[in-house]
Copies of this chain bind each other. A is one copy, B any other.
Amino acid sequence: MENSEELCLVCNDISSGYHYGVPSCNGCKTFFRRTIMQKHIFVCQHEKNCSVDRSIRCACRYCRFEKCLKVGMDRSALQASRDRIGYTKRTRKPKRKEVSFSSSSSMSPQNIFYPESPGYAQKAYETYWSYVASREKASNELRLSAYAPKRSLKEALCSKSLLNDPIFLSNHMIVSSRHTYTELRFITQSDYHYWHERDWFVLTEYAKTFKVFNELSYNDKAALVRHAAITIPSLNQVYNSPDHGPDTVVFPDGTYYDRTHEPTRPAGLNRKKYQVLDLVLKPFREIEIKFNEFAAFKAITFLNPDADVSYLAKLAINEERVAVTKQLYAFMIRNDGIEKAIKRFSRLILIGTSMSKMACESKEAVWIADFFENIGYTSFAKELFFGERNSEEE
């Protein structure tokens, strides 16, 4: 206390307290721990008498470590490694303001032009399912990755799907450290927000993997994606949630929701939550939906001719939808036999009605929420839900 600032005995930097028995700075503390934990053995390039000082402490790790020992750092103060604590950066206390417009938006909408990949047409059974499965797999990997571009709805819908771009896939499909967890934590408004944005982004890339989608007009594309904006994210959330009991949906970052009423959210969104639990999660678990089945069901849900699209678009979408449905049924027959297949198939397809209702009610809830500014949607989300100010229907 007498001296406001004690110095690190190793390097003379300002000490951040006593570590391993010695007043020391953060750097030397961490260096000491890591060296021991990782059992590093350094070699001095000189005479084992390098000076260790704030400015040059990293120059010779051998001498730095020797200095640590010499000033009395105590290896026995090291503990057994602890449980992981999960992602920290994002929950950091905000500095003050953190506007940071910096991020150079104009550049890097790179390779919008990629040759149309030709492989869509041939739908032999195996080919069909391998495509469905790889679409679903890639979609989920994208969801787990850290990649999240900022762009307008039009850019999002008219570019080529990242999921069809092998170069992108090999470069970016790494699970973000944010999307792992060691602890569940009840979801907050800002978590909902994060996952909405993320799932909407993934939805746009998902949509563009459908040939029929890419052939629509921009307005129809927007309408179809808008119509799917509640259901597809919900399906992703439910299917990919680890099983923590029948009434809990867990996100990849360990946030979860359950039946707890959340009074700060609009009533419509609370209701949606119960619908998801009762009418989607529960049946999925009961019929033990398989990966391919889920992938097909998601496609069927996406290809919804009820969206406010043009009449011709409805026809095209429905045609594709029926084709997928037929494949799904064939798949189930193969695996379950006809007796069981029909039961599971019916059960699964009937979930569609629940999805439909949910989408409709939630859209309304979203509208109301936005009206009362309960929820801070981004401009992308607003564009998605409400269309652009110009050139939209109704």
Q: A residues touching B (Cβ–Cβ < 8 Å)? A: 39-43, 45, 55-56, 58-61, 79-84, 110, 181-186, 245-246, 254, 256, 267, 275, 278-279, 300, 304-306, 311, 314, 321-322, 325-326, 329-330, 338, 342-343, 346-347, 349-350, 352-357, 359-361, 364, 394
**Which of B43, B330, B350, B354 is the one whose CB lies under 8 Å from A181?**
B43
Given A349-B350, A350-B321: A342 and B329 within 8 A (CB)?
Answer: yes
The distance in angstroms between the C-alpha atoms of A84 and B361, with both chains bound, is 44
CB neighbours (8 Å) of A394 from chain B are 267
CB neighbours (8 Å) of A349 from chain B are 346, 349-350, 352
The distance in angstroms between the C-alpha atoms of A278 and B58, with both chains bound, is 37
The distance in angstroms between the C-alpha atoms of A6 and B32, with both chains bound, is 35
CB neighbours (8 Å) of A45 from chain B are 83-84, 182
Given A41-B184, A184-B43, A352-B352: A343 and B360 within 8 A (CB)?
Answer: no
Closest to A82 in B: B58
Given A110-B245, A322-B347, A361-B360: A314 and B278 within 8 A (CB)?
Answer: yes
Given A182-B45, A356-B357: A279 and B267 within 8 A (CB)?
Answer: no
**Which of B40, B42, B267, B325 is the one whose CB lies under 8 Å from A346?**
B325
Docked-complex contact B80 and A56, CB < 8 angstroms: yes
Closest to A354 in B: B306
**Which of B58, B80, B306 is the one whose CB lies under 8 Å from A353?**
B306
The distance in angstroms between the C-alpha atoms of A110 and B361, with both chains bound, is 31
A58-B80, A349-B352, A356-B357 are known contacts; what are 13 more A-B pairs with Cβ within 8 Å? Answer: A41-B183, A42-B183, A43-B181, A58-B83, A59-B83, A300-B350, A306-B357, A322-B343, A325-B350, A352-B352, A356-B360, A357-B357, A360-B360
Copies in the complex: 2
Docked-complex contact B39 and A186, CB < 8 angstroms: yes
Closest to A358 in B: B306
CB neighbours (8 Å) of A84 from chain B are 45
**Which of B80, B254, B300, B347 is the one whose CB lies under 8 Å from A55?**
B80
Docked-complex contact A183 and B40, CB < 8 angstroms: yes
The distance in angstroms between the C-alpha atoms of A61 and B84, with both chains bound, is 9
CB neighbours (8 Å) of A325 from chain B are 346, 350
The distance in angstroms between the C-alpha atoms of A254 and B326, with both chains bound, is 39
CB neighbours (8 Å) of A183 from chain B are 40-43, 61
Docked-complex contact A59 and B43, CB < 8 angstroms: no
Docked-complex contact A60 and B83, CB < 8 angstroms: yes
Identify 21 residue pairs between A and B in the complex whose beta-carbon atoms are under 8 Å apart, listed by A's number.
Answer: A39-B186, A40-B183, A40-B185, A41-B184, A42-B183, A58-B82, A59-B83, A61-B183, A278-B311, A278-B314, A322-B346, A325-B350, A326-B342, A326-B343, A329-B342, A352-B352, A352-B356, A354-B356, A356-B356, A357-B359, A364-B364
Closest to A267 in B: B394
Given A275-B306, A350-B322: A43 and B254 within 8 A (CB)?
Answer: yes
Closest to A54 in B: B80
Shortest CB-to-CB span from A135 to chain B, Å, is 21
Docked-complex contact A42 and B353, CB < 8 angstroms: no
